[in-house]
């Protein structure tokens, strides 16, 4: 197990609220997709659902400089208030940071645009709360040097994740250190979900091949992924795929093209962007549909 230090991240309005502090969770509702409307028929419109709840948003830094130095150094985490089991961890693989204007000379201290990457914890934390899901979201914040090759996380991912879970337990159960038959000094992790968005599929595929990952991997969640073929299901598990396709039916593949979002307030602006060859719907897919994945997952219930 590798120790991590809790650090604070300042709010970056309107992008995110920063880290939650003093054991107090964030609480708000978000405009999400009602899970019951995510059918296989692309003629069925997706229906808005304003829902959410309480969740914690945290940021951790690896304390060992020999491991932190090669990167990734920072790990963001989110989990719902009231979580009763933390043995399932959803590792989210984010898109290419360089393409979002994040440069490695700003990485230490998360200066420049790096703070913007933290928004995914807020996006997904509120959806874990909405789904009353018992899973911990962990997002390695890869710098450009490690995005793709995984850096030290490739070989040490298991120890790093368990180190984060030690800190999560301190927040989730401050008065019940042995809840769910787990001790803070033991390895809590039993199940892994790998999720990705956009070009993050490239990172997900690399992490899927990491040592020991096959022993723990149960599910893949792919949100409009790009790069390589569609992910296959893990052995004895499932893959959930959300894309903008319009043709074909397949198990656990959900086509969500723009035509299905007509009930959402951003539909018209996305339609205008589409005419200009701009895909502004792309970012809404994980931001609104992670909730659906929590409801049909085999884990976290």
188: pLDDT strictly greater than 90: no
Average pLDDT on 253-267 reads 97
Alpha-carbon distance of 97 to 99, in angstroms, equals 5
What's the whole-number mean pLDDT along residues 243-255?
Answer: 90
Q: Please tell me whether the overall predicted TM-score, pTM, comes out greater than 0.85 for this model.
A: yes
186 pLDDT tier (thresholds 50, 70, 90): low
Structure token digits, residue 82: 């009231």
Pairing state between β 48-62 and 26-33 = antiparallel
> Do residues 192 and 207 touch, judged by C-beta distance below 8 A?
no
- Asked whether the predicted pLDDT for residue 134 surpasses 70, the reply is yes
Nearest Cα neighbor of 79 from 127, 33, 119 is 127
Q: How confident is the model at residue 176 (pLDDT cuts 50, 70, 90)?
A: low
pLDDT of 229 reads: 85
* pLDDT surpasses 80 at 207: yes
pLDDT tens-digit series, residues 41-92:
999 999 999 999 999 999 999 998 889 888 899 999 999 999 999 999 999 9
% residues pLDDT > 90 (the chain): 85
| Average pLDDT of the residues in 6-12 | 96
Least confident of 33-37, 130-134, 140-144, 185-189: 185-189
What per-residue confidence (pLDDT) applies to 69?
87
Is residue 177 over pLDDT 70? no
Cα–Cα distance measured from residue 68 to residue 48, given in angstroms and rounded to the nearest whole number: 41
pLDDT at position 181: 41
Q: Tell me the per-residue pLDDT of 104-115, one tens digit each, with 9 for 90 and over.
A: 999 999 999 999
Give whole-number Cα distances, 254 to 37, 44, 50, 251, 296, in Å.
11, 12, 21, 8, 12
Between 18-32, 73-87, 166-180, 226-240, the lowest mean confidence (pLDDT) is in 166-180
The rounded distance, in Å, linking the Cα atoms of 31 and 277 is 25
């Amino acid at each position: 197990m590798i120790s991590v230090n809790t650090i604070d991240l300042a709010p970056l309005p309107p992008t995110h609220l920063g880290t939650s502090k003093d054991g107090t969770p964030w609480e708000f509702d978000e405009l999400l997709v009602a899970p019951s409307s995510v059918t296989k028929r692309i003629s069925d419109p997706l229906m808005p659902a304003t829902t959410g709840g309480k969740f914690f948003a945290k940021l951790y830094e690896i304390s060992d400089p020999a491991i932190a130095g090669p990167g990734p150094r920072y790990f963001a985490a989110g989990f719902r208030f009231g979580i009763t089991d933390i043995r399932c961890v959803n590792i989210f693989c984010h898109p290419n940071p360089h393409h979002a204007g994040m440069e490695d000379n700003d990485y230490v201290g998360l200066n420049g645009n790096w703070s913007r990457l933290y928004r995914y914890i807020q996006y997904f934390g509120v959806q874990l709360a909405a789904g009353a899901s018992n899973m911990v979201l962990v997002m390695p914040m890869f710098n450009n040097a490690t995005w793709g090759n995984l850096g030290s996380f490739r070989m040490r991912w298991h120890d790093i994740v368990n180190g984060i879970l030690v800190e999560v337990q301190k927040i989730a159960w401050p008065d019940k250190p042995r809840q769910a038959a787990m001790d803070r000094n033991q390895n809590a992790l039993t199940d892994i979900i790998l999720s990705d968005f956009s070009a993050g599929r490239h990172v997900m595929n690399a992490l899927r091949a990491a040592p020991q990952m096959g022993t723990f991997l149960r599910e893949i969640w792919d949100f409009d992924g790009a790069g390589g073929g569609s992910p296959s299901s893990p052995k004895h598990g499932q893959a959930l795929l959300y894309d903008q396709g319009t043709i074909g039916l397949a198990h656990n593949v959900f086509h969500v093209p723009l035509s299905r979002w007509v009930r959402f307030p951003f539909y018209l602006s996305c339609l205008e962007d589409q005419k200009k060859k701009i895909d502004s719907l792309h970012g809404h897919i994980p931001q609104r549909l992670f909730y659906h994945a929590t409801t049909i997952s085999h884990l976290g219930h």
